[in-house]
Chain A
Amino acid sequence: MSIVEQKAFLASIHPFDTLTSEELERVLGAMDIAYYPKDSVVCDASKEVDRLYMIIKGSVETSDGEGNIEYFGTLDTLCASELLQKCEARTYRVIEELLCYELPKNLFMELLESNEAFKTFYLEDIATRIQALREQSRQTEFTEFLTARIRDIFIHAPYIVEGSTPIGKAVAGMETAKAAAVLVQHENQTGIVTDTDLRRRVILGSVSLDEPIGKIATYGLVTIERDDFLFNALLMMTRHGIKRLAVTQNGEICGIIEQIDLLSYFSNHSYLLSVQIEKAHSVEELRTVTEGFVNIVRSLHNKGVKSRYIARIVSELNTKVFEKVFELVIPKAWHSHVALMVMGSEGREEQIIRTDQDNGLVIENGFRADGLEEKMAAFSHALKTLGFPQCPGRVMVNNPEWCMPLDAFKKNIDSWVDMPEGEAMMKLAILLDARCVSGDTELVTELRHYLFERMSNHPTALAIFAKAVENFEIPLGWMGTFGKEQIDLKKGGSFILMHGIRALALEQKIEATPTVERIKRLNDIGLIDRKFATELIESFDVILTFILQGKLTRLAQGKAPDNSINLQEFSKLERDMLKDALKVVKELKNFIGYHFRLNMVG
């Protein structure tokens, strides 16, 4: 039935998917399809709006009194705000010929009354909407979590011996094969011998190493099919109180899974990794650990964990890596006289996929570090080996400009503040996000306080610092109709938000470096209200999530990760989220503009 067909289409448009079947029927019975050629006007600011429009194909632009242009494309609805009298009537012009559904105003109003979820979509503020949208996309991710199968995790190759094999020989074989348990074939049945059995029966018991291993095996092996759910494996282990299961494929044993692998799949193995980092004795050993970072990020992202939490976990791990490299490379005698700091996104704890290394070393005034250059070269090289790419701006310890005594740093700050031009401000911004990871924290704290002091009584420098938010346009003109399917979400989104907040944090002498923390502080001191703070945090998270998604996709394709996203691959839901988030960025940009009086600095 084609009525069903149209209904399905309508139900795929958010928020119409929240309507009951009966409500959808009413919509269908009242809806027309209209065609508007390119450049024609869909509705005019001078006329009363009498219907709601839903775009089937094509795109439309409108601008408000302040000259902000907004674009709408496939599956977007037009004129909802006007109908709800939340904004003045606007003129909508067709930029790509348009086919749209039209729904009479009175029915739209009735739906708002009869359906709470539908109403929420149109009336709630952006943060609430983003939350609601997120819930929707989460559901699919959660099911993924429930549908993981045995074959998705690491299955240990089985180590199988005959029951007649002497225990000593079997254990030696276990060692060679690095097996945690041995499977025993004995008189047509399969048993298992674990470390626990060896401890109890051989070491503490009376069984000698020469006796056949079949004697101490446990029979009646608990097995699970390779295609079964991980969940069931977890349940079986719990039920039988065991740590291992034999995995079968068509009834034949093909491997063993360990409880630890299961648990690490279900939590994430960040804990395991941090233990491994601490235990590492060389850069080489560290490297095997850091290679697993991307997989953790991917699995956390797939489980629907918010990007800012993923960033926190990754940042914890990276900090541990830096500490370790510091320990391996920097002589112990230096440790209380120098401070290793990470800056930029690493300093803000926002670097999820490694893009570059921004780090520096502050040296106590008067401390003599012999062989400094060589040590610093080794440090930077070690990080490069571990997959932290070189910083194009050379903000690294092997660059003397970022590795010097405290007083020399202070001198630099003086010169930056006195001559506040583009590059100086960029360096200042990098230093502002500095976070100490090893050595004497006091050195970094003192440096940052000095920076706050020097900048805060210098309004012109502050304004020039903040002005960087105007370097990029917010890409709210994206519909795929402009041939701009690729947009850079860092330049037009996260950078503006992050830097705007950074400028405010500098002005208010806020200690915290992460953007989200800074927003919370700014709200505490009353500079921005609670609603705006929440919207900013949520929007920042949304943009980070999309950037992360893009990077993971590109990594999976074997390409270099960048910050661009392809709108063609976005679902309607995602586009709505992004649009809302970018609106918030725009609001912040305007706020920064008049707060720092940016129109007064050249």
Chain B
Amino acid sequence: MQTSPDTDKKITVQTLAELGPLPMKVALGCAVLLPVAFLLGWFSENGMTKFAFSYLQSTFFFLSISLGALFFVMIQQLTRAGWSVVLRRLSEFIAMGVIPLAVLVLPIVLVTLAGNDILYQWASAKNVAEDHLLQAKAPYLNSGFFAIRYLIYFGSWIFLARFFLNKSVAQDANGDPELTLLMERRSGPALLLFSFTLTFAAFDFIMSLDAHWFSTIFGVYYFAAGLVGFFSFLAISLVYLRSKGLLQEPVTVEHLHDVGKLLFAFNCFWAYIAISQYLLIWYSNIPEETVFYLHRQDHGWGTISLILVIGHFAIPFVFFMSRWMKRNPKTLFFWAFYLLVMNWIDIFWLVMPNANVGGVSFGMILVDVCCTIGVGGIYVAGLLKFAGQTSVMPVRDPRLEESLKFHNI
């Protein structure tokens, strides 16, 4: 592979540090809302349960974005994609979010390891002794093994995210095309590792909240949700960075269009997975499966479910399909933000009904929103820290020229 002769002379290196100190300040300011959410929970009825579930929801909402980014980076390498090179470094930064999230998820694991059943009923020996099904699942669902799996999952993701970022950054310095070939070779097995860890992490952390229920498609569901989250986040970041003068020339309307297309496609994929899970359970009508949806029909959860069906699929399907919507940065920003909110509601819908604190309430949503903004502050601060002085584009990638000249038609 030949390095393109002229690119490394023309491209100016831009970093996220050019945004100034404001984003970092705002992010850290938002992080203050996390203790606020904790206090809100402390002073309300069932507050600790609400807070614990909100905390799980918030961390796994941002985790889904980072895992989506990791998947995107790997699939671009695997398919030797040229168009996406200018977006790849940003995705690599977002994937690095798994590091702050590993720290943020640690309290959940520690609480479970201490035998507290505030989140997972299988964590307490008393619950297991009373429940035949939990006994049957105990060889897998026990807090010791859970902690080990936490180490495996986050260890793998941190390893993958660091590997792809470090190799890519190393190429900025030496322009060695061998690094691209190395990343291409590693991305295949990496994707295997990724898909297994993601699937089982979704099973362990979210599905096992209701340890009686199980759905083999659940891992894919979380994956689909994560990709919608990631592409929304990417589109928002791109439009924001371009408005601040970063990546303005390299990232054109053509790239935005493709990000929009992928966002739209994965939103349809999410709907496809969601209906697949629902349809099988609905058709077979087996009580231990349908209970998942039963919880999500009562006490106000039915409204949230309908919001997901109409808001997460029907409305964007009709309005976001158009080419114009994706090629206009403003409308793209709007729909990306809208779908990010929908993705948040989706994770909310997955996690919160298991809290059993009597339906949807304003208090719950308030705690949840505060918690999400708080966790989000830490998450974004972490991303900015990792981005640091690194170029926001892989300036000496051998396919960069192809990406710069990318044109849809």
* A and B are partners in one complex rather than unrelated chains: no
**A→B interface (CB under 8 Å):** none
> Could you tell me which B residues sit within 8 Å of A by CB distance?
none
